[in-house]
């Protein structure tokens, strides 16, 4: 019996993970902790059905509601940041990190500290503090398994291979909702338009990040941190069909591609069953029916986020934490209608430049406190930049 916990259980990744657990033969998994946010009804329903030991809402004001919803079930109810960390630290074999944003970092670290295998959907923790995450895993003999579809694809492409023979990593991008829009129209794109993805069904924030390519920018940095590959060896390729998820290029010129339907349950299931491969309820591709797959280079003018990711990697240190935090605030600003679609990248760039003008600020050593400090500074500065633009 494998003991599993799901951080961010009520989200898109969390619900897909629960779907796979629901379908597994009885006795395969024992659910330890489920965590969520304001969707207390969903959290309580899943915790009851799966017989979780504890259910946690991130928000203290929802504790009473959660308690009431769990009444008589035997599932413990808890709330708040401390409870989230405590849930992640409960002994488990496998923990899904699927909270969105930098908020996923501390709970993910707590899971690694107890030695659990961490299935990492929360790319933001790698962008903010990749070296800290990987060092924590090493120190506690824990494993990090990528769940982002591109990174799972790369991970699978590397099984049994000599890492020294890896020449390049290519991650694909659908191009998001606006890939075929004329550039002039982008300035007026609305949050509703950006939140519709052509191929993947995901949470709202990551879908908008796909349209701006901030998602791919985070993923390039995530790949660097997960696989220890130099930035110059990581490429992005626009592939509108989202069928090839990533390719690994080797010294002999071979390119190994991971091909599959755009369904997150593949990457989640691969991590859930790792190191075994088991049957998964995903569509079997009919390539003849698909007929063709297309690829093109990303256009830098359309996707300034990709350029910013390169700058962040060149700068190193804690600039990833500043980048991610500024991006989260810029995204909030866009969703709230305070700034335009193209202004998100401008805000992030401005934050990076203001923070780096204070020497040493984004190049300090990696510990959780320093990362959270930079995260907080970048959020404040991003808030100022947005206020200046809107006043």
Contact positions vs ligand NAD (CB under 6 A) = 8-14, 36-37, 58, 84, 98-100, 103, 121-124, 148, 200, 202-203, 205-206, 264
To ligand NAD, the closest distance from the beta carbon of 25 in angstroms equals 26
Q: Are 83 and 7 in contact (CB under 8 A)?
A: no
Give the Cβ contact number of residue 19 at 10 Å.
14
Distance in angstroms (rounded) separating the CA atoms of residues 119 and 272: 8
Among 148, 263, 349, 375, binds Mg ion (CB under 5 A): 148
Distance in angstroms (rounded) separating the CA atoms of residues 17 and 13: 6
Distance in angstroms (rounded) separating the CA atoms of residues 36 and 266: 22
Q: Are 344 and 212 in contact (CB under 8 A)?
A: yes
To ligand NAD, the closest distance from the beta carbon of 308 in angstroms equals 17
For residues 37 and 249, which CB has a smaller minimum distance to ligand NAD in the complex? 37
Q: What are phi and psi of 163, to 5 degrees?
A: -60, -30
To ligand NAD, the closest distance from the beta carbon of 335 in angstroms equals 12
To ligand NAD, the closest distance from the beta carbon of 56 in angstroms equals 9
Nearest to 385 by CA among 356, 357, 346: 346
Which residue, judged by CB position, is nearest to ligand NAD in the bound state?
A: 11
To Mg ion, the closest distance from the beta carbon of 247 in angstroms equals 14
For residues 11 and 298, which CB has a smaller minimum distance to ligand NAD in the complex? 11
Q: Are 362 and 310 in contact (CB under 8 A)?
A: no
Query: How long is the chain?
Result: 391
To Mg ion, the closest distance from the beta carbon of 25 in angstroms equals 29
Tell me the number of residues near Mg ion by CB under 5 A: 3
For residues 197 and 379, which CB has a smaller minimum distance to Mg ion in the complex? 197
Cα separations (Å) of 54 from 57, 184, 316? 10, 50, 38
Cα separations (Å) of 254 from 120, 224, 293? 28, 21, 19
Give the alpha-carbon dihedral of 331, 336, 342, 346, to 10 degrees. -60
Distance in angstroms (rounded) separating the CA atoms of residues 126 and 316: 13
Task: Mark the segment that binds Mg ion (CB under 5 A) among 19-27, 143-151, 261-269, 291-299.
Answer: 143-151
Which residue, judged by CB position, is nearest to Mg ion in the bound state?
A: 148
To Mg ion, the closest distance from the beta carbon of 38 in angstroms equals 25
For residues 264 and 350, which CB has a smaller minimum distance to ligand NAD in the complex? 264
For residues 148 and 328, which CB has a smaller minimum distance to Mg ion in the complex? 148
Q: Which of ligand NAD, Mg ion, none is residue 175 near (CB under 5 to 8 Å by kind)?
A: none
Nearest to 212 by CA among 348, 80, 341: 341
Does the protein bind Mg ion through residue 222 (CB under 5 A)?
no
For residues 258 and 354, which CB has a smaller minimum distance to ligand NAD in the complex? 258
For residues 122 and 149, which CB has a smaller minimum distance to Mg ion in the complex? 149
For residues 65 and 150, which CB has a smaller minimum distance to Mg ion in the complex? 150
Nearest to 97 by CA among 62, 141, 143, 165: 143
Instruction: Read off the tokens for 137.
Output: 């895993």
Q: Which of Mg ion, ligand NAD, none is residue 223 near (CB under 5 to 8 Å by kind)?
A: none
Q: Which of ligand NAD, Mg ion, none is residue 103 near (CB under 5 to 8 Å by kind)?
A: ligand NAD
To Mg ion, the closest distance from the beta carbon of 123 in angstroms equals 7
To Mg ion, the closest distance from the beta carbon of 100 in angstroms equals 13
> What is the strand order of the sheet 244-250 is part of?
234-238, 166-173, 244-250, 255-259
For residues 171 and 229, which CB has a smaller minimum distance to ligand NAD in the complex? 171
The alpha carbons of the chain give a radius of gyration, in whole angstroms, of 20
Residues that bind Mg ion (CB under 5 A): 148-150
């Amino acid at each position: 019996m494998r003991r599993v916990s799901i951080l961010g259980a009520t989200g898109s990744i969390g619900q897909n993970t629960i779907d796979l657990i629901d379908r597994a033969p009885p006795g395969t998994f024992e659910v330890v902790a489920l965590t969520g946010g304001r969707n207390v009804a969903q959290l309580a329903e899943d915790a009851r059905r799966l017989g979780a030991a504890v259910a946690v809402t991130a928000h203290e004001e929802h504790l009473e509601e959660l308690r009431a919803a769990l009444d008589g079930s035997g599932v413990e109810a808890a709330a708040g940041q401390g409870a989230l960390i405590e849930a992640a630290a409960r002994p488990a074999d496998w923990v899904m990190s699927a909270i969105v944003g930098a908020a996923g970092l501390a709970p993910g670290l707590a899971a690694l500290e107890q030695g659990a295998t961490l299935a990492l959907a929360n790319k933001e923790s790698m962008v903010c503090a990749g070296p800290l995450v990987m060092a924590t895993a090493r120190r506690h003999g824990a494993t990090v398994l990528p769940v982002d579809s591109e990174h799972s694809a790369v991970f699978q492409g590397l099984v049994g291979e000599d890492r020294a023979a890896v020449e390049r990593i290519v991650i694909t991008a659908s191009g998001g909702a606006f890939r075929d829009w004329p550039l002039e129209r982008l300035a007026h794109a609305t949050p509703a338009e950006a939140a519709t993805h052509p191929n993947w069904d995901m949470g709202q924030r990551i879908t908008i990040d796909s349209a701006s390519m901030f998602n791919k920018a985070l993923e390039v940095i995530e790949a660097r941190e997960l696989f220890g590959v130099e930035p110059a060896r990581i490429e992005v390729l626009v592939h509108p069909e989202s069928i090839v998820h990533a390719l690994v290029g080797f010294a002999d010129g071979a390119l190994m591609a991971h091909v599959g339907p755009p369904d997150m349950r593949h990457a989640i299931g691969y991590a859930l069953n790792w190191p075994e491969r088991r049957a998964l309820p995903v569509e079997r591709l009919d390539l003849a029916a698909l007929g063709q797959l297309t690829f093109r280079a990303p256009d830098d003018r359309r996707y300034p986020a990709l350029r910013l990711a390169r700058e962040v990697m060149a700068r190193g240190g804690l600039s990833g934490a500043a980048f991610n935090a500024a991006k989260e605030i810029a995204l909030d600003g866009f969703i709230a209608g305070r700034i335009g679609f193209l202004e998100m990248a401008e805000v992030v760039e401005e934050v990076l430049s203001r923070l780096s003008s204070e020497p040493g600020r984004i190049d300090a050593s990696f510990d959780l406190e320093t990362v959270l400090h930079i995260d907080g500074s970048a959020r404040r500065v991003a808030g100022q930049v947005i206020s200046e633009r809107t006043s």
